[in-house]
Amino acid sequence: MKVKKIYLNNYRNYSNLRIDFSDGLNVIVGANAQGKTNLLEAIYMCSIGRSLRVNKERQTINFNENRAEIIVEIERKYGKSTIDIILSKNAKKTVRINKIPIKKIGELMGELKAVFFSPDELKLIKESPEDRRRFMDISLSQMSKNYFYLLSKYEKILANRNKLLKEELNKTTLKETLDIWNEQLATVGSKIIYNRINFLKSLTPYAKLSHKYLTQDSEELDLEYVGIIGQDENEIKLKFLNEINKNFDKDIKLCYTTVGPHRDDIKVSINGIDVRAYGSQGQQRTCALSLKLAELEIIEKLTGEKAILLLDDVLSELDAKRRKRLLNFCKKTQTFLTCTDFKGQADNIIRISNGKAM
Ligand SMILES: Nc1ncnc2c1ncn2[C@@H]1O[C@H](COP(=O)(O)OP(=O)(O)OP(=O)(O)O)[C@@H](O)[C@H]1O
Ligand SMILES: [Mg+2]
């Protein structure tokens, strides 16, 4: 899929912006603090339905305004569509697909498939398991609305179970009530885990290839799902229930659920060594990039549609060889790349200065 046009109104430092994009490599050039990342943020918001930089979306509305709008025109395999998002300081956000408001954010999933990478994505390797779970969850949700709904369902069940753990009930009553939640948690949770395990299985060969490509065959990447694993949903569910029962006392003591997909992780290693603990900054960055490039490939393989690639400020962080190889990779799909200066070939160069395209 491709983003053909964007229109921004009062979004961050853009009062009115209209840009036509090219199908290939779009390079967004400008000095610091001109609005390059803001532009990518707006495109990505149309993909995942929220900002990836701030939790409070109203912060993305221009300081002096009460309402902001983003419209993107998309060309998909079977025709065109538009997504528009209206943000308001005193009302709920509305998201429309082809001018029809959606009722649940899940309906947006997959409408604009996008992979985002910025220096901040280093956290995918470096930081807590939550970042790696988010990577799997955003990816899977873009490929399956059903997965997104499973996640929402799981979060509700988990919140109910945790609430119960905080109530001061006697142990027998608590056990009986918890059993009902446990069954639901394990039913939905095992589906989530099974999806994630399969996702990693499909992703791994592509991640290995991208990593070999970026490092000129010098590094062998491996990925492993860390959590309750099994051959099928049923086996995972039984193991999950078993773990929940084993951790009953611990859960009561801590007042939250200590096992389940909300605690799982991905172990990333290079040449057999855990990158999170031992990798250099550059290795961690390249690993994160390899995962994202692999994500791009499996989205196409599993859905038949190419995701767009958003690369924020990544060139300055890579050495010359890796940079060249990355730019070569970008030819596979429509790419939006931001940088402060660009020497090279692009299909479209957009110069941004103080919230305006030159
Ligand atoms: N809600 C807002 N209203 C108006 N301006 C905003 C708002 N939010 C952020 N800005 C402005 O947007 C500018 C930053 O834009 P952005 O992060 O896109 O810069 P950039 O071009 O990516 O810079 P860099 O090269 O440093 O990454 C800042 O000057 C900031 O003050
Ligand atoms: Mg920026």
Determine the Cα–Cα distance for residues 59 and 45; give it in Å rounded to an integer.
13
Same domain, 194 and 242: yes
Same domain, 12 and 53: yes
Same domain, 75 and 128: no
The domain that contains 278 carries what CATH number?
A: 1.20.1050.90
Query: Which atom of ligand 1 lies nearest, measured to the CA of 31?
Result: 25
Determine the Cα–Cα distance for residues 332 and 141; give it in Å rounded to an integer.
22
Same domain, 331 and 275: no
Q: What is the mean pLDDT of residues 100-109?
A: 96
Same domain, 312 and 210: no
Query: Which atom of ligand 1 lies nearest, measured to the CA of 352?
Result: 21
Could you give the count of Cα atoms lying within 13 Å of 124 in the half-sphere of its Cβ? Answer: 24
- In the predicted structure, residue 318 carries a pLDDT above the cut 90: no
- Prediction pTM value: 0.94
Same domain, 66 and 32: yes
Same domain, 252 and 346: no
**Residue 37 CB less than 6 A away from ligand 1:** yes
CB 184 within 8 A of CB 249: no
Question: Has residue 118 been placed in a domain?
Answer: no
Same domain, 89 and 178: no
Q: What is the pLDDT of residue 93?
A: 94
Sheet containing strand 221-226, strands side by side: 221-226, 265-270, 273-274
- In the predicted structure, residue 55 carries a pLDDT above the cut 90: no
**Residue 35 CB less than 6 A away from ligand 1:** yes
- In the predicted structure, residue 344 carries a pLDDT above the cut 90: no
Query: Which atom of ligand 1 lies nearest, measured to the CA of 63?
Result: 3
pLDDT single digits (tens) 266-290 = 999 999 999 999 999 989 999 999 9
Q: Indicate the number of domains in the chain.
A: 2
Q: What is the pLDDT of residue 193?
A: 98
Q: What is the mean pLDDT of residues 10-17?
A: 98
Cα-based distances in Å from 7 to 11, 158, 229: 10, 39, 45
The rounded mean pLDDT for the chain is 95
Query: Max alpha carbon distance in the chain (Å)?
Result: 70
Lowest-confidence segment of 31-35, 165-169, 197-201 by average pLDDT: 165-169
Question: Which amino acid residue places its CA nearest to atom 17 of ligand 1?
Answer: 37
Same domain, 330 and 263: no
The residue segments making up the domain with residue 299 are 124-304
Which ligand sits nearest to residue 118's alpha carbon? 2
User: Residues near 355 by Cβ (< 8 Å), separated by ≥ 6?
Assistant: 12, 13, 14, 15, 17, 34, 35, 38
pLDDT single digits (tens) 229-266 = 999 999 999 999 999 999 999 999 999 999 999 999 99
